């Protein structure tokens, strides 16, 4: 690459040694290669969203359009995006702590799906006792609530409005 770009044309004896130039060039090349390797071209490092998930979201959006007004759809999407952001932050915290597997299992228990795993099943899969899973889930929910409150606090102008906004947020999700 150095020969193709004719980098050696800029090298002058009075500017320093060739060895120093080559070392600096190699370091720059390796640093750029490392940055490229650490960055995904599209999505900026975020994991790709499975096609099935996109289709489910699209269907949900179409169904909601039949029964909700445009402003209710807007508010509902805002609420769902807020929940996704909170869940992503929580997932990052668990990942930093080295508890990604625990988080992946416990987050399945947050929803109301009928096929969600039991605490006993999660305990068996993670080789933990059931009481430890129960305690971990309790901590996850407490942290989830705190992060949700923080995210909502960022959307209001006055801190005293957080409770009203939180009630409105819950109302949006229930309709």
**pLDDT per residue as tens digits for the range 34-60:** 777 766 554 555 566 566 676 677 666
- Alpha carbon distance, N-terminus to C-terminus of the chain: 61
pTM to 2 decimal places: 0.57
For the chain, the average pLDDT equals 80
- pLDDT tens for 5-32 read 777 677 766 666 777 777 788 888 888 8
Same-domain pairing of 69 and 88: yes
Least confident of 52-56, 146-150, 166-170: 52-56
Check whether residue 21 and residue 73 sit in a common domain. no
Check whether residue 31 and residue 114 sit in a common domain: no
- The total of structural domains in the chain comes to 2
Between residues 110 and 97, the one the model is more confident about: 97
On whether both 97 and 154 belong to a single domain, the answer is yes
Are residue 82 and residue 130 in the same domain, yes or no? yes
DSSP summary character for residue 116: P
Q: Do 79 and 106 share a structural domain?
A: yes
Range of the domain at 42: 1-48
Q: Same domain for 44 and 59? A: no
| Separation of alpha carbons 147 and 87, rounded Å | 9
Let me know whether 167 and 97 are in one domain. yes
98/149 same-domain check: yes
On whether both 7 and 72 belong to a single domain, the answer is: no
Residue 154 has pLDDT above 60, yes or no: yes
Tokens 């929910």 correspond to 141
Residue 35 sits in the same domain as residue 115: no
The proportion of the chain whose per-residue pLDDT surpasses 70, expressed as a percent, equals 76
**Residues 121 and 157 occupy one common structural domain:** yes
Render pLDDT for 127-145 as a digit per residue (tens, 0 to 9).
999 899 899 989 999 999 9
* Cβ proximity of 136 and 125 under 8 Å: no
Residues 91, 102 contacting (CB under 8 angstroms): no
Section 113-136 average pLDDT? 86
Q: Higher model confidence: residue 113 or residue 109? A: 109
């Amino acid at each position: 690459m150095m020969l193709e770009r004719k980098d050696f044309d800029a090298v002058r004896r009075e500017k320093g040694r060739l060895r120093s130039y080559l070392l600096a060039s190699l370091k720059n090349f390796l640093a750029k290669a490392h940055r490229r390797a650490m960055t995904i071209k599209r999505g900026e490092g975020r994991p790709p969203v499975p096609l099935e998930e996109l289709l489910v979201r699209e269907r949900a959006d179409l169904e909601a359009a039949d029964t909700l007004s445009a402003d209710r759809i807007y508010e509902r999407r805002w609420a769902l995006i807020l929940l996704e952001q909170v869940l992503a932050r929580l997932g990052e915290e668990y990942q930093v702590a080295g508890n990604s597997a625990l988080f992946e299992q416990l987050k399945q228990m947050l929803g109301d799906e009928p096929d969600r795993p039991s605490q006993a099943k999660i305990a068996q899969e993670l080789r933990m006792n059931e009481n430890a899973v129960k305690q971990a889930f309790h901590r996850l929910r407490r942290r989830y609530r705190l992060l949700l409150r923080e995210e909502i606090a960022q959307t209001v102008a006055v801190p005293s409005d957080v409770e009203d906004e939180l009630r409105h947020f819950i109302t949006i999700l229930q309709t």
